[in-house]
Structure 1
């Protein structure tokens, strides 16, 4: 699969997600929430987790965010914006408060303003990212806009990067580019937390 272009892979993966029945998607979201306990090695009580609100067919749920908040004490969610030229800017961040999400751009749910600067990612002890796929080497395939590529430079060096994907989206190999930031783990409904990017 590593020889297939990223654009073709994105199209195939999005089509496959679209074929997943709603009850299967809900069961997978529940399983992801149950795997939060496996993240205890990274966060304990007064830590910060950066996560995301799933949109469309992305794995995850509000329940997962609530469980992360109970585990860590603080969850930051991304706020995506573009510059005047339409180019993606580094993600800003806002505190997750249950029941307080607002509609943002591109159909995303976001924390309400005021937002923190992109450097707030450096406060995170753990970062959960949406992905279309991740491979065993830690290469993450996102949607292609580059918001996370522009943002991950601000992360604290040792903070684990966890791509949240369906089990079928943990692949042997993906095409990579020099700017790709490798993931340290994948979180899937069936396998739970899986180390990637390690020899």
Structure 2
């Protein structure tokens, strides 16, 4: 698929998924949060993770905050991303509660900046996604921060995308820079890709 076609298909799919997320009821959202939190805790526990890279979810994303709170409460080191102007992610061990609006209006943690390579020391990486396909290809929201981060890592720990159930799709449009994930966590299951 040529790059223009893939980029166009991604824009259309992102718009559809964003609208679907915005139309979730508060009851659906609460149920999803309970399931996502349970599955993230199970995943971190199964991997014996002592350090996790996660992100602070926006109001329409699957809610990662209860998991971040659980991890901090269980002495798991949580690195949270901070967007930089140069397209890289910096990391901090913010408390998961104190936050500011980042470069693109996304919530970001407040804390001492540890540099882009801090992520090299985690046991598990949890990334946002618009969709993930059956082969583990992740489609993000179009800024490329996580693709760049994952693509630059020498040895990458397991990477899981956090999505709603309907965002596991048969295929996502792919461009050369896109990075696959090892699995996906949804409100109802943990999926591993081979």
Taking structure 1 as the reference length, what is the TM-score of the superposition?
0.86
Query: Could you tell me how far 1:158 is from its partner in structure 2?
Result: 4.3
| CA RMSD, 1 decimal | 2.0
Query: Could you tell me how far 1:71 is from its partner in structure 2?
Result: 4.8
Query: Could you tell me how far 1:15 is from its partner in structure 2?
Result: 1.0
Give the match for residue 90 of structure 1.
88
Give the match for residue 100 of structure 2.
102
Secondary structure (helix, strand or coil) at the match of 2:112 reads coil
Per-residue displacement from partner, 1:61-113 (whole Å, max 9, x unpaired)? 32121123345610000001224xxxxx1100000314333343333222224
Give the match for residue 178 of structure 1.
176
In 1, are the aligned partners of 2:82 and 2:92 still within 8 Å (CA)?
A: yes
Per-residue displacement from partner, 1:45-72 (whole Å, max 9, x unpaired)? xx21000000131112321211233456
Aligned length: 188
Q: Per the alignment, do residues 30 and 18 of structure 1 end up closer, same or farther by CA in structure 2, a change over 3 Å counting?
A: same
1:50 to 29, 53, 56: 53
2:46 to 41, 49, 59: 41
In 2, are the aligned partners of 1:118 and 1:154 still within 8 Å (CA)?
A: no
The reply to whether residue 74 of structure 1 matches residue 77 of structure 2 is yes
Q: In 2, distance between residues paired with 1:125 and 1:38?
A: 11
In 1, are the aligned partners of 2:55 and 2:64 still within 8 Å (CA)?
A: no
Structure 2: gaps of 5 or more residues: none
Query: Could you tell me how far 1:174 is from its partner in structure 2?
Result: 1.1
Q: In 2, distance between residues paired with 1:180 and 1:105?
A: 22
Taking structure 2 as the reference length, what is the TM-score of the superposition?
0.88
Q: In 2, distance between residues paired with 1:189 and 1:175?
A: 24
Secondary structure (helix, strand or coil) at the match of 2:160 reads strand
Q: In 2, distance between residues paired with 1:170 and 1:190?
A: 12
The reply to whether residue 32 of structure 1 matches residue 20 of structure 2 is no
In 2, are the aligned partners of 1:59 and 1:165 still within 8 Å (CA)?
A: yes
Structure 1: gaps of 5 or more residues: 84-88
The reply to whether residue 141 of structure 1 matches residue 146 of structure 2 is no
Query: Could you tell me how far 1:154 is from its partner in structure 2?
Result: 4.3
Q: Per the alignment, do residues 72 and 194 of structure 1 end up closer, same or farther by CA in structure 2, a change over 3 Å counting?
A: farther
In 1, are the aligned partners of 2:81 and 2:108 still within 8 Å (CA)?
A: yes
Q: In 2, distance between residues paired with 1:96 and 1:156?
A: 25
In 1, are the aligned partners of 2:32 and 2:187 still within 8 Å (CA)?
A: yes
Per-residue displacement from partner, 1:93-141 (whole Å, max 9, x unpaired)? 0003143333433332222242111111111110000001101111111
